[in-house]
């Protein structure tokens, strides 16, 4: 009886599949996030995440792109200096009529920024 219950548990566990990890963007494909007040921009590909703040032109913070942590609402990328949290859901930057597929929260060196993101049109 105990063997049957163990076998049944193993078989049932095999039927439940965890959600697949999203593949990282190909090196040539960018994920772009941006925000206002203050103006900032983040780009990400499979090699690196780069954050730039408009009031500090020429200053970029770049970190290697880590594997994503997948949650029910989206993905999180954590590096020593940049944490990127992507939540799937329509987003407007509040200053234009553009709409984005994701809401984004970025923490850079302890400072938190809110914005929108997605893969730009025209990208493969």
The more confident residue out of 2 and 103 is 103
pTM of the prediction? 0.72
Q: Is 85 helix (H, G, I), strand (E, B) or coil?
A: strand
Other Cβ atoms within 10 Å of 7 Cβ, number? 10
pLDDT in tens, 8-57: 444 444 544 444 444 444 455 689 999 988 899 999 999 999 999 988 77
Residue 108 β-bridge partners: 82, 111
Query: Is the peptide bond between 36 and the residue preceding it cis, with omega within 30 degrees of 0?
Result: no
Q: Is the pLDDT of residue 82 over 60?
A: yes
Q: Which two tokens stand for residue 119?
A: 């893969």
Cβ-based neighbours of 26, under 8 Å, separated by 6 or more: 45, 46, 124
Kindly report the average pLDDT of the chain as a whole number: 80
Residue 73's pLDDT band (cuts 50, 70, 90): confident
**pLDDT for position 121:** 67
């Amino acid at each position: 009886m105990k063997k049957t219950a163990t076998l049944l548990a193993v078989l049932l566990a095999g039927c439940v599949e965890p959600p697949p990890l999203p593949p990282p963007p190909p090196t040539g494909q960018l994920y772009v996030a941006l925000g206002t007040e203050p103006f900032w921009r983040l780009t990400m590909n499979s090699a690196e995440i780069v954050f730039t703040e408009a009031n500090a032109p020429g200053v970029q913070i770049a970190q290697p792109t880590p594997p994503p942590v997948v949650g029910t609402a989206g993905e999180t990328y954590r590096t020593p200096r940049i944490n990127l949290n992507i939540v799937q859901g329509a987003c407007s930057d509040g200053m234009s009529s553009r709409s984005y597929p994701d809401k984004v929260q970025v923490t850079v060196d302890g400072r938190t920024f809110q914005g929108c993101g997605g893969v730009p049109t025209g990208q493969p």
